[in-house]
Structure 1
Amino acid sequence: MEPLITHVGRIIPLDKANVDTDQIIPKQFLKRIERTGFGQFLFYDWRFDEEGKPNDSFVMNQQKYEGSSVLLARNNFGCGSSREHAPWAILDYGIKVVIAPSFADIFYNNCFKNGILPVVLAEGEVEELFKKATSGKLVVTVDLEKQEITTDDGAIYSFEADPYRKQMLLNGLDDIGLTEMYTKQISEYEKTRKLLVEATI
C-alpha cells in the first residue's frame, strides 16, 4: 500500500447523501477476486445508462472534473453492506481522499485499510467546498501530518484523525504490512513455543 502524506488534487462534488456501497460498486461487479479493475464500475448505475453509454448529466462524466482525485459528498457516505470492494473501486478509479460530514463506520475503517483518507468536516465547511467546486477548478492540498486541507484560494480546514490509523496511512501499512514488520519476533516466538511443547511431551 502506498503511503499517503500529502495529496494535491481537484475536487469532484458528488452532491448526494446516504450513498451506499451498492451505489458505489453494484453487486453484479463483485465477482472478481483481485483488488484492481473495479474503478471502471464505480457508480456504474449513475455513470452509465441502460445501454452502457455515459450519462452526461452525472458529475463524474463532466469534462471539467476529469482527472480529479478528491471526492466530496454529503452525510452518511458509504452506508449499506460492508463490502470492501467499495474502497477498492474508489481507489482504482484514482480517488485518494473522500470528504464528507459523516461516514458509515465500516466503510470509514476500510478506507484506511486500503490507502484512502476519509476526512470528516463540518456540514458548513462541506457546503463551502461544494460552492467552490462547481467551477471544476478547485484544487486542494490535503496534509495528513498537519491534518489540514488547504484550498487554492487560501482557505484552511482542519480535521481529526485517529493517531493509529493516521500512522498506518502515513507509512503505507495495512494489517498484513503491519504484521510483516514483526516477522522476526513471530518466528522467534514460534521457535520458543515449539521447544516448550516438545519439553512437555
Structure 2
Amino acid sequence: MHKLEGIAAPLLIDNLDTDQIMPKQFLRIITKEGLDQGVLYDLRFEPDGTPKPGFVLNRAAYRGANILIGGANFGCGSSREHAVWGMQQLGIEAVIASSFAEIFFGNALANRLLLITLAPDQVDALAAETVAAPGSHVTIDLVDMSVRSAGGLAFPFTLGQRHKQMITEGLDMVGATLRQLADIEAFEQRHHAEAPWTRVLHA
C-alpha cells in the first residue's frame, strides 16, 4: 500500500487511553476475534448497548471511516495490544494526531496500523474540515509523504524507513524480521563457531 484514502472521523480527545479504546471486559478472550465490538465502547454505546447517536462513529456520514483524527497523546495508559487489534477490526487503518503514547505507537506500527504525527494546528485544521464537511475524504500518500484533504489542505509528515517499508509492503514485525533471515542465520553460525557450548541440541 502506497496510498490510503478514506473517510476521516474527528475524535479530538486528548489523552484518549487504551482502557477507553478497549475496555477491560473485552480482554477475556483467547483469540483476537470480536474485538471490534469493544472499541471505544463507553463512548459508542449506552449502558444498555444501544448506540449513542451523537458519537461521531455512529453518525451516518462517518460510517465506514477508516481514518481517525485524534487528540494529543493518543493511546496512553496500559500497554494492551488489543486496542490496536480492535481498531483494525473496526476498519481503522490510520490515525492522525499531534502525538502518540510510546507503547501504543510501537504496538500500532508492529501491526501495520499507520500513525501519522502532525503539528497541533495542522491536526486541528484537518479536523475542522471533517466537521464542516462530514464524510469528506483524506488521502495519506506514502510516496510523497503527505496528508491531503478534499478541501485542499496538504501537510508533509515523516515516518521511519523500517515502518514505512512495513506499511507499504504489508509486513508485520515477524515478516519484517524474516526479511533479515539470511543475516540472522549467518550471525548464528558465527556465534556457534566461536561459542559452541551455546548451541541448543534438538532430539
- Asked whether the 8 Å contact 1:36–1:88 carries over to 2, the reply is no
Q: How big is the shift at 1:156?
A: 0.8
TM-score by length of 2: 0.87
Aligned to 1:39: 36
- State which of 156, 159, 162 in structure 2 corresponds to 1:158: 156
CA–CA separation in structure 2 for the residues paired with 1:166 and 1:186: 22
Q: 1:14 & 1:166 partners in 2: Cα distance?
A: 24
Structure number with the bigger relative contact order (C-alpha 8 A, sep ≥ 6) is 1
Bigger mean CA deviation after superposition, 45-54 or 135-144: 135-144
Matched, 1:71 2:71: no
| Number of residues of Structure 1 aligned to a counterpart in Structure 2 | 195
Kept after mapping to 1: 8 A contact 2:112/2:166: no
Corresponding residue of 1:21: 18
Counterpart CA distance in 2 for 1:184 and 1:15 is 44
CA-based RMSD: 2.0
Do the aligned partners of 1:7 and 1:142 also contact (CA within 8 Å) in 2? Answer: yes
CA displacement, residues 33-64 of structure 1 (integer Å, 9 cap, x when unaligned)? 32342112110011111111111111111111
Counting only pairs closer than 5 Å after superposition, residues 119-130 of structure 1 correspond to structure 2 as 119-130=116-127
1:179 Cα offset (Å): 2.9
Tell me if the contact between 2:111 and 2:173 (Cα under 8 Å) persists in the aligned partners.
no
3-state DSSP class of the match of 1:16? coil
Give percent identity, aligned residues only.
38
The answer to whether the 8 A contact 1:15-1:73 is kept is yes
Structure 2 residue runs without a partner (length 5+): 198-203
Q: Distance in 1 between matches of 2:135 and 2:83?
A: 26
1:49-88 equivalence runs, <5 A: 49-88=46-85
2:14 touches 2:74 (CA, 8 Å); kept in 1?
yes
- Matches of residues 80-119 of structure 1 in structure 2 within 5 Å? 80-119=77-116
In the TM superposition, residue 70 of structure 1 has moved relative to its aligned partner by 0.4
How do 1:116-195 and structure 2 match up within 5 A? 116-134=113-131, 135-183=133-181, 186=184, 193=192
Letter in 2 for 1:150: R
Amino acid at match of 1:28: Q
Unaligned runs of 5+ in 1: none
Q: Distance in 2 between matches of 1:12 and 1:53?
A: 20
The AA in structure 2 aligned to 1:44 is Y
1:6 paired residue number: 3
Alpha-carbon distance in structure 2 between the residues aligned to 1:124 and 1:145: 23
Following the alignment from structure 1 to structure 2, what is the Cα–Cα distance between the partners of residues 84 and 29?
Answer: 12
Supply the distance in 2 between the matched residues of 1:185 and 1:125 (Cα, whole angstroms): 41
Residue-by-residue CA offset, 1:85-108 (whole Å, 9 max, x unaligned): 111111110011101111101111
Between the aligned partners of 1:166 and 1:159, the Cα distance in structure 2 is 12
- TM-score, normalised on structure 1? 0.88
* 1:167 aligned partner, one-letter code: Q
